[in-house]
Amino acid sequence: MWIFGRSVECSDENFTRTVTEGLVLFNWVLFALTLFGLAVVFDPLGSTRFNEQESSLETLRHRKLMRLWMRRLQWTFCWMRRDKHGNDAFFHMATFFSSLFRGTDTVPSDYVAGFILMRVRQKRESRERRRLQLMDEQPRCTQDVRKVMADAPEWVSLELAHHFLKLAIAAYAWPFVMYRYPFSGLTKLAANMTCCSCLRPKSTLVREDNCCLCNLAGVRYLSLVAEDDILFASFRNRIFEMPYYIVADHRTGSIVLVIRGSISMRDVFTDLNAGAEKFEAEWLPPNSMAHRGMAIGAQYIKTDLENLGILTKAFDLYPHYKLAITGHSLGAAVAVLVGCLIRSRYPDLKVYALCPPAAVLSREAARYTEEFTFSVGVGDDFVMRLSIDSAEDLRTALHHMLEASRLPKYRIMLNGFGYAMFGVPTSDLETTWKSECTTPPVPGQLPLLFQSPEPTTWSEVSVLEKDVPARRFSRTRLFSPGRILHITYVKKSATDKKPGIRGSKFAMRWAVAEEFMQLAVMPRMILDHLPENVDKVLDTILREQQELEHQLH
């Protein structure tokens, strides 16, 4: 009060006064964050355990914990409660979080330490695989695009995937322009903006954009498409309702439905409503299941298209064009589900899914989408491995790592800074863990790297016994859709690094959905999902292929 008020003259020295004011403000922010953290993280019910003799009491505690998570979500994201599906989304997220975290007794620093230990473990496992020469048994990759696409149909093309990726990036509109060009973004958007557009006639039917059509300006700038070719654009963003636009793509002779990926908290809520729900569409295998939030989003877009008749009008203008659907991340998954819903009406449609999530459809339904879906993933993209099952497996693995480590938590976190800067030293691969020959005295204390004489697998049943199977959120495992082309980075040898020797930075192979069932803690797990990095990878591969073909000719 003294330093900010005028009743007491504290000091005439501006520097001292400014520093003190900054410290006071910092302390108040820190205090507010502490209260927020306690409200969100603190569990007043305590750590609960499953007990067969007290199952009714356990059920009651589970309901109390679910209601606690419900209140946390409603207070933290209070502005979303007005959405049509807001309370429904909060309920399913509260159920998932209560199932995932109940009885774990962990704090945020435990997760940080666990991720560091997982990175060390993965380094150790890679070394063991090389030592046992198991790497040769893995599916081989190739750096030649022509070779990997030799048996693929004509529409499965890396050039087409790269082209549709640019349209998918454009769906992120003006926020992506400002993200990529923070200092010059406004000048880039200004040429395509329309001041007071609400009072002017528009050639493009636009829904829920602002008065200057900033979102449409971002789409036009990023896609390099003329305004007359953008037939419809909806920028409505609610829970289970994501923006999309429809464009006449003269380069490929297609009417393209482009669905935006995750960029807002409402999109994150759609992602996190990840339970398996029955999904019905013509030609789909019976009893097919799909990601709940994405299935509702796909149904919303399908209903929107039918009510507005946009596709019918588009094909009246361009009767010889075909239908293509594309998207990145969440948009890729919803694009596949929309394709399933309307394929009976447009049997020749094709879907280009860029970096789709791991949990979209049940296994037989995912196999069915291989007929019309081309999926592309890069490197260690964590979204392509993210699902309810992989999150629950990650939770168990973190407990494994913390139990098996012989180092205190502060040492693990200090080592983590060194690993980030200099990599993981070989000595730490051995000294980080406890003896692998010790057996736990009580259930639920199994060291993670314990080696028994009989072959065993890491399962949640052997770690936390009865408590974990009772908390499996989903009984149905979901998989990635389409034919999956996985692009990986090539680690160059000392010979390849010599001057004058050129080689591609990337290799690729056809993968199956089962290969993306486990989350891996890797340095590029986030970077490999960003659309601009995926665009750079595809552009580099295609440019190298063109240079190679030019040399051969």
Half-sphere exposure (Cβ direction) of 504: Cα atoms closer than 13 Å: 23
The SS3 call for residue 123 is helix
Are 288 and 347 in a shared domain?
A: yes
By the 8 A CB rule, do 74 and 89 touch?
A: no
By the 8 A CB rule, do 284 and 365 touch?
A: yes
Are 220 and 268 in a shared domain?
A: yes
Are 302 and 329 in a shared domain?
A: yes
pLDDT score, position 162 = 96
pLDDT score, position 486 = 94
Residue at 367 is within a domain: yes
By the 8 A CB rule, do 70 and 90 touch?
A: yes
Residue at 71 is within a domain: no
Q: Which sign, positive or negative, has the C-alpha torsion 35, 94, 460, 356? A: negative
Are 229 and 350 in a shared domain?
A: yes
Are 189 and 334 in a shared domain?
A: yes
Say if residue 339 is exposed, middle or buried (CB neighbours under 10 Å; 0-12, 13-18, 19+): buried
Residue at 44 is within a domain: no
Amino acid at 144: D
Are 145 and 267 in a shared domain?
A: yes
Are 118 and 149 in a shared domain?
A: no
How confident is the chain (553 residues) per 10-residue block, as mean pLDDT? 75 80 92 79 52 54 77 79 78 82 73 85 75 56 84 92 96 94 90 69 75 90 91 93 95 96 92 90 92 95 93 94 96 96 94 94 94 94 90 83 83 84 77 56 38 39 41 79 92 55 76 88 89 94 86 73
Q: Please spell the DSSP secondary structure of 374-440, one letter per residue.
A: EEEEETT-SGGG-SHHHHHHHHHHHHHHHHHB-S-HHHHHHHHHHHHHH---TTHHHHTBPPTT---
Are 328 and 445 in a shared domain?
A: no
pLDDT score, position 419 = 82
Residue at 337 is within a domain: yes
Are 274 and 403 in a shared domain?
A: no
CATH number, residue 323: 3.40.50.1820
Residue at 194 is within a domain: yes
Residue at 294 is within a domain: yes
- Alpha-carbon span 162 to 166, nearest angstrom: 7
Say if residue 428 is exposed, middle or buried (CB neighbours under 10 Å; 0-12, 13-18, 19+): middle
- Alpha-carbon span 354 to 338, nearest angstrom: 15
pLDDT score, position 11 = 66
Are 357 and 291 in a shared domain?
A: yes
pLDDT score, position 244 = 96
Measured CA to CA in angstroms, residue 548 lies from 190, 408, 434, 464 at distances of 40, 53, 51, 55
Residue at 102 is within a domain: no
Are 340 and 403 in a shared domain?
A: no
Look at residues 330, 324, 306 and name the one whose alpha carbon lies nearest to residue 172: 330
Largest CA distance in the chain: 84
Q: Which range marks the domain in which residue 122 is found?
A: 108-135+388-428+440-449+458-471
pLDDT score, position 151 = 87
pLDDT score, position 451 = 42
Residue bearing tokens 């449609």: 349
By the 8 A CB rule, do 180 and 340 touch?
A: no
Are 284 and 421 in a shared domain?
A: no
- For the record, the structure tokens of 11 come out as 């000091």
Q: What is the pTM of this model?
A: 0.81
- For the record, the structure tokens of 498 come out as 């010599």
207 pairs with which residues across the strands? Answer: 234
Helix and strand counts by DSSP (H, E) for the chain: 19, 11
By the 8 A CB rule, do 392 and 371 touch?
A: no
**Rg (alpha carbons) of the chain, rounded to whole number:** 26
The SS3 call for residue 187 is helix
Structural domains in the chain (count): 3
- For the record, the structure tokens of 82 come out as 């007005």
Query: H or E element: which one contains 65?
Result: helix 55-76
By the 8 A CB rule, do 528 and 381 touch?
A: yes
Residue at 49 is within a domain: no
- Alpha-carbon span 15 to 17, nearest angstrom: 5
Q: Please spell the DSSP secondary structure of 530-549, one letter per residue.
A: SHHHHHHHHHHHHHHHHHHH
